[in-house]
Amino acid sequence: MEPVHLVEMQRDKQDAVDVTSWVSVCPAGLWRVQRKWTHERTPQSSSDAGDDASCSPNYCPKLGSLCRVRVQLKAREDDAQDDGSSSTKGNEELAVAVTELVPTPIVRRLEAVLQVPLGDWTNLRLGEGQCDVTEACLEGMRAGEKCELQLTPIGSGPEPSVQQPSDGDLPLIFTVELQAFTPGKESWEMSPAERWEWVKSHKERGGGRFRSGDVWGATDSYSRALKLLIPLCGLVGDVEDTNFLEETPQLPSSDQLKIKKAELHSNLSLCQLKLNQPQRARDSAAKATQLEPGASKAWYRLGQACQRLNELDEAKVAFKKLLELQPDLPAAVKALKEITNKEKERNVQLGLRLSKMFS
């Protein structure tokens, strides 16, 4: 799986309406998202470059920005507006100073497409991957803007439910409003220490999600961590001979970063095996074993992936390497026996085909 957001950006002009589409990760799988602006957008002016991102409507949230956002199911919003109910009073009652924003505690739910409470103002930190759909949308919004999202599931897996009752029709249509946000940073604007903190938090979050059964969410977290760690490894490696690390003691050495990178690739491989993506799992595990040849878990996952792909010779090499690291490991011994049996079956079938050809 590619590092998040698995984004496939396509822009289209239809009747002067700006439409953007991408693929987002939800706990139960992948969804195609289309964003349509509910208004005509004005071009961003270069004169705004010196404005504070927290107060300028021409700036978009960045990594780490706290965004005050409201997501509503389109049908419910329309009904509320028709009868004059509370969905129209939000800004007057809920207007807050940007400096007062604090993250809204949200429990991630496996059965939900969106992870934010529908209809309520929520403070969401951009970059944490709490709700990939909403975060990907906010990356291109400005304070005070509103847009419409159309969601369609990808694949044949189970369809997650929405957090409030709907008529069950697909695609699902939501509206997203961004009231305000705090300043953030693009990854390239961050210091190495800030990037490292994000890497650690993504890895920890990925482990928690995997243990809770949220495999798609764990995949997303590990991918986010790798996306930040890969350039960080190159930066630390380039300056390790200077006094850079002495000035930033909170950063690990290049060797330690390489081990962390191997762990993330190995964890990602496990997620991809769970998601029945053996080719991606093989590639991730192979990267892990190259970075850390003594990583037994990575060798095991590489063997599993190759075995599923019917690459028996490669699987045999991986499991034999695992036995060198952990002699008599039952799982590796069992896997090698299975491979030997498959090879025998393959040879028998090949012999039968050859005999028919020359008989």
Domain boundary among 164, 184, 204: 184
Residue 82 shares a structural domain with residue 202: no
**Domain extent for 263:** 189-240+251-353
Residue 333 shares a structural domain with residue 281: yes
Between 217 and 56, residue with greater pLDDT: 217
Dump the DSSP string for 161-221: BPSS-----SSEEEEEEEEEE---B-GGGS-HHHHHHHHHHHHHHHHHHHHTT-HHHHHHH
The reply to whether 44 falls in a domain is no
CA distance 247 to 144: 41
Token pair 């997203």 is found at 176
Residue 301 shares a structural domain with residue 198: yes
pLDDT band for 241, please (50, 70, 90 cuts).
low
Residue 207 shares a structural domain with residue 97: no
- pLDDT score of 42: 67
Instruction: Name the strand (E) or helix (H) holding 352.
Output: helix 330-358
Q: Is the alpha carbon torsion for 322, 338, 302, 153 positive or negative? A: negative
Q: Is the pLDDT of residue 260 over 90?
A: yes
Mean pLDDT (whole number) for 223-239: 83
Number of domains in the chain: 2
* Residue-wise pLDDT tens digits, 319-332: 999 999 999 899 99
Residue 263 shares a structural domain with residue 349: yes
The CATH number of residue 112's host domain is 3.10.50.40
Residue 18 shares a structural domain with residue 71: yes
Residue 176 shares a structural domain with residue 209: no
Residue 214 shares a structural domain with residue 153: no
The reply to whether 96 falls in a domain is yes
pLDDT band for 97, please (50, 70, 90 cuts).
low
Mean pLDDT for the chain overall: 81
Residue 195 shares a structural domain with residue 325: yes
Residue 104 shares a structural domain with residue 180: yes
Residue 28 shares a structural domain with residue 132: yes
Q: Is 97 helix (H, G, I), strand (E, B) or coil?
A: coil
- pLDDT score of 28: 79
Residue 235 shares a structural domain with residue 123: no
The reply to whether 48 falls in a domain is no
Mean pLDDT (whole number) for 21-27: 89
The CATH number of residue 291's host domain is 1.25.40.10
* Residue-wise pLDDT tens digits, 275-322: 999 999 999 999 999 999 999 999 999 999 999 999 999 999 999 999
Domain boundary among 143, 165, 184: 184
Domain boundary among 184, 206, 232: 184
